[in-house]
Amino acid sequence: MNILTHFKEIFEHNYSGQWSEFQKIGKKIQNIIHYDFVNEETLWNAMSIRGSALPSEEFERLEFLGDSILKAIHGISLYEKSEEFQPGELSVFRQNLENNENLAPLAEELKYNEIGALLGIGKLSPNQAADCFEALIGAIYVDKGNLEGMIGLAKGITHFEKKLKELRKAPWGSKDPKSFLHEWVRKKYSNEISVDYPSVNEGTSNAPQFKVRVIIKRKINDKIEIEGPWVGNFPKKKEGEKEAAKALLSKLEEEGKLDRSS
- pLDDT tens track for 195-254: 999 999 998 888 788 999 999 999 888 889 999 999 988 888 888 898 899 899 988 888
Please tell me whether residues 143 and 57 are part of one structural domain: yes
Residue 250 belongs to domain spanning: 177-254
Is residue 259 scored above 70 in pLDDT? no
Q: Where are the beta strands (DSSP E) in 115-261?
A: 193-196, 199-201, 210-212, 215-218, 224-227, 231-234
Domain-ending residue, one of 169, 203, 234: 169
pLDDT at 211: 93
Can you tell me the distance from the alpha carbon of 132 to that of 233, in angstroms, rounded to the nearest whole number?
Answer: 18
| Burial classification of residue 217, based on how many CB atoms lie within 10 Å of its CB (0-12 exposed, 13-18 middle, 19 or more buried) | middle
Q: What is the mean pLDDT of residues 34-44?
A: 95
Q: Is residue 260 part of a domain?
A: no
Can you tell me the distance from the alpha carbon of 115 to that of 118, in angstroms, rounded to the nearest whole number?
Answer: 5
CATH of the domain at 69: 1.10.1520.10
Main-chain phi, psi angles of 173, to 5 degrees: 55, -125
Q: Is residue 262 part of a domain?
A: no
CATH of the domain at 232: 3.30.160.20
Cβ atoms of 141 and 61 within 8 Å: the answer is: no
pLDDT at 1: 61
% pLDDT > 90, the chain: 56
- CA quadruple 82, 165, 65, 72: dihedral, nearest 10: -10
Please tell me whether residues 16 and 140 are part of one structural domain: yes
Is residue 15 scored above 60 in pLDDT? yes
Reported confidence tier of residue 133, pLDDT bands at 50, 70, 90: very high
Distance set, CA 147 to CA 73, 158, 192 (Å): 9, 16, 54
The H-or-E segment that residue 58 falls in is: helix 57-80
Cβ atoms of 162 and 86 within 8 Å: the answer is: no
Please tell me whether residues 133 and 21 are part of one structural domain: yes
pLDDT at 260: 56
**Strand pairing partners for 218?**
193
pLDDT tens-digit series, residues 98-119? 888 789 899 999 999 999 999 9
Omega before residue 45 within 30° of 0, cis = no
Reported confidence tier of residue 174, pLDDT bands at 50, 70, 90: low
Please tell me whether residues 101 and 209 are part of one structural domain: no
Is residue 142 scored above 80 in pLDDT? yes
Please tell me whether residues 120 and 241 are part of one structural domain: no
What pTM does this model have?
0.76
Q: What is the mean pLDDT of the chain?
A: 89
Cβ atoms of 93 and 174 within 8 Å: the answer is: yes
pLDDT at 46: 97
| Burial classification of residue 242, based on how many CB atoms lie within 10 Å of its CB (0-12 exposed, 13-18 middle, 19 or more buried) | buried
Please tell me the total number of residues recorded for the chain in this structure.
262
Q: What is the DSSP letter of 216?
A: E
Please tell me whether residues 19 and 140 are part of one structural domain: yes
Is residue 53 scored above 50 in pLDDT? yes
Is residue 262 scored above 50 in pLDDT? no
Can you tell me the distance from the alpha carbon of 145 to that of 194, in angstroms, rounded to the nearest whole number?
Answer: 53
